[in-house]
């Protein structure tokens, strides 16, 4: 194993160990978010209530509604048989939530369900406006913080005991229709004054039960001394018929469907996940170098054709056969003109000079001088052939380059 890699792994293990030691002595912070979700074991979740539902509703069938709205569920249970206006099911619709999580269409369907001889129990701190307006009820909106709320049942036959809840807010009904409403429970407000927090309201052939302290059904209170008894007292009014529990928490819609959802929901696993990703990133950064042998320098192949040409040229030059060299130069030049410019080189006259000028774009005087040198070489003898070779070579280079 590479020495540097060993160092990186050692550093990573050291950092991981320090984090574990530091985290071990740190108390896990309590999440006080009021989710009212059956999946949450935090103080204001409904996990315990969900697990003990069969205890609270003895010998009753409990139908949990989480993937549908109340409207979708109840409407599917409506008997559409001709001349029959009723539901296929009978019982009590319940909902326990921090805030209003029921849309107007669903609330209208719930009222219609109740009107057919059924019950509905809603325990929340904010009720649907449609419901409050229909029942002529007002909820206290002047929320005042309080350390403790004492709650008790109005009917002494149900219970005479008072229960203390650390809910932090005093919620109660500030206005009710006293002619049609039966008070079932009380609590004290921040001024220690008795207020109504649990009522029964008749609605056509059924009854609506409204309760303002949903915290009584949360994990925190059900596991605290004898406070579970208060929840039992409230639910004793629904001991007959089936229970249709709409248990969709306020935050349930935001639960991710990602495969990493559980890892992200557990702080230790979440820390380990990100630490692992960090380790992989560090490993990639320090090991991204290319590891290979040095590429040897390969000399390019020599152009043997050029060397051969130079050798032949030197041979002719050393032999002093200038006439032969001039003839070969001329032959090469004329062959080049025929191949590249498709010109007839049989007669090197003025017509040839003009055509070559147009084809190459070279100076006409330079072309005329070269043609004159070629014709003179062919038709006459010159004393200094070496001088002629140099002049013809220079003239050809002007035209071809």
Has residue 132 been placed in a domain?
Answer: yes
Domain count, the chain: 3
CA gap 369, 285 in Å, rounded: 70
pLDDT at position 185 over 50: yes
Final residue belonging to a domain, choices 219, 250, 281 = 250
Give yes or no: residues 99 and 233 share one domain: yes
pLDDT at position 204 over 50: yes
DSSP of 18-53, one letter per residue? HHHHHHHTSPPPP-------TT--STTS-HHHHHTH
Has residue 299 been placed in a domain?
Answer: no
Mean pLDDT over 87-106 rounds to: 93
Has residue 39 been placed in a domain?
Answer: no
Give yes or no: residues 81 and 177 share one domain: yes
Give yes or no: residues 3 and 55 share one domain: no
Has residue 235 been placed in a domain?
Answer: yes
Q: Would you place residue 248 in the very low, low, confident or very high pLDDT band (cuts 50, 70, 90)? A: confident
pLDDT > 90: what percent of the chain? Answer: 37
pLDDT at position 286 over 90: no
Has residue 34 been placed in a domain?
Answer: no
Buried/exposed code over 336-364 (b: 16+ C-beta within 10 A; e: otherwise): ebeeeeebebeebeeebbebbbeebebee
Give yes or no: residues 64 and 116 share one domain: yes
Give yes or no: residues 190 and 220 share one domain: yes
Has residue 87 been placed in a domain?
Answer: yes
pLDDT at site 316: 63
pLDDT at site 69: 92
pTM for the whole thing?
Answer: 0.61
Give yes or no: residues 195 and 275 share one domain: no
Is the pLDDT higher at 316 or at 148? 148
Give yes or no: residues 54 and 191 share one domain: yes
Least confident residue range of 104-113, 124-133, 192-201, 368-377: 368-377
Q: Would you place residue 2 in the very low, low, confident or very high pLDDT band (cuts 50, 70, 90)? A: low
pLDDT at position 169 over 90: no
Is the pLDDT higher at 239 or at 170? 239
Give yes or no: residues 240 and 109 share one domain: yes
Alpha-carbon separation of residue 214 from 143, 359, 395 (angstroms): 15, 100, 108
Q: Would you place residue 376 in the very low, low, confident or very high pLDDT band (cuts 50, 70, 90)? A: confident
> Which 3 state secondary structure label does DSSP give 62?
strand
Give yes or no: residues 151 and 191 share one domain: yes
Has residue 170 been placed in a domain?
Answer: yes
pLDDT at site 285: 72
Has residue 36 been placed in a domain?
Answer: no
pLDDT at position 383 over 60: no
- Residue 212: give the domain boundaries: 47-250
Final residue belonging to a domain, choices 250, 281, 315 = 250
Closest CA to 231 of 130, 163, 147: 163
Q: Which of 12-26, 58-72, 335-349 has the highest mean pLDDT?
A: 58-72
Give yes or no: residues 324 and 271 share one domain: no
pLDDT at position 135 over 50: yes
CA angle in degrees (0–180, nearest 5) for 117-200-71 = 50
User: CATH code at 81?
Assistant: 3.40.50
Is the pLDDT higher at 275 or at 46? 46
Give yes or no: residues 269 and 186 share one domain: no
Give yes or no: residues 222 and 308 share one domain: no
């Amino acid at each position: 194993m590479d020495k540097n890699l060993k160092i990186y792994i050692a550093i990573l293990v050291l950092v991981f160990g320090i984090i574990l030691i530091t985290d071990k002595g740190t108390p896990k912070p309590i999440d006080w978010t009021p989710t009212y979700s059956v999946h949450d074991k935090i103080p204001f979740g409904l996990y315990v209530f969900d697990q003990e539902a069969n205890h609270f509703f003895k010998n009753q069938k409990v139908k949990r509604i989480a993937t549908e709205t109340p409207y979708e569920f109840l409407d599917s249970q409506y008997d559409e048989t001709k001349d029959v206006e009723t539901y296929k099911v009978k019982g009590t619709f319940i909902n326990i939530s921090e805030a209003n999580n029921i849309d107007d269409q669903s609330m209208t369907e719930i009222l219609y369900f109740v009107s057919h001889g059924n019950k509905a129990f809603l325990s929340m701190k904010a009720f649907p406006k449609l419901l409050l307006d229909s029942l002529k009820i007002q909820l206290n909106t002047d929320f005042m913080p309080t350390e403790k709320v004492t709650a008790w049942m109005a009917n002494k036959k149900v219970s005479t005991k008072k229960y203390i809840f650390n809910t932090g807010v005093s919620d109660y009904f500030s206005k009710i229709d006293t002619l049609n409403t039966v008070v079932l429970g009380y609590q004290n407000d921040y001024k220690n004054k008795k207020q109504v927090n649990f009522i029964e309201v008749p609605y056509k052939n059924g009854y609506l039960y409204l309760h303002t302290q949903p915290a009584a059904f949360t994990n925190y209170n059900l596991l605290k001394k004898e406070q579970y008894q208060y929840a039992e007292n409230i639910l004793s009014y629904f001991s007959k018929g089936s229970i249709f529990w709409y248990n969709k928490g306020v935050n349930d819609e935001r639960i991710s469907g990602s495969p990493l959802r559980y890892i992200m929901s557990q702080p230790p696993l979440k820390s380990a996940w990100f630490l692992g990703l960090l380790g992989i990133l560090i490993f990639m950064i320090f090991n991204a170098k290319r590891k290979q042998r040095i590429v040897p320098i390969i000399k390019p192949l020599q152009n043997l054709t050029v060397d051969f040409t130079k050798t032949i040229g030197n041979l002719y030059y050393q032999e002093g056969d200038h006439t032969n060299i001039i003839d070969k130069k001329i032959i090469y030049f004329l062959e080049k003109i025929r191949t590249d410019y498709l010109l007839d080189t049989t007669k090197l006259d003025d017509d040839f000079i003009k055509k070559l000028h147009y084809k190459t774009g070279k100076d006409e005087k330079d072309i005329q001088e070269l043609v004159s040198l070629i014709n003179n070489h062919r038709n006459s003898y010159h004393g200094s052939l070496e001088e002629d070779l140099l002049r013809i070579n220079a003239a050809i280079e002007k035209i071809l380059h």
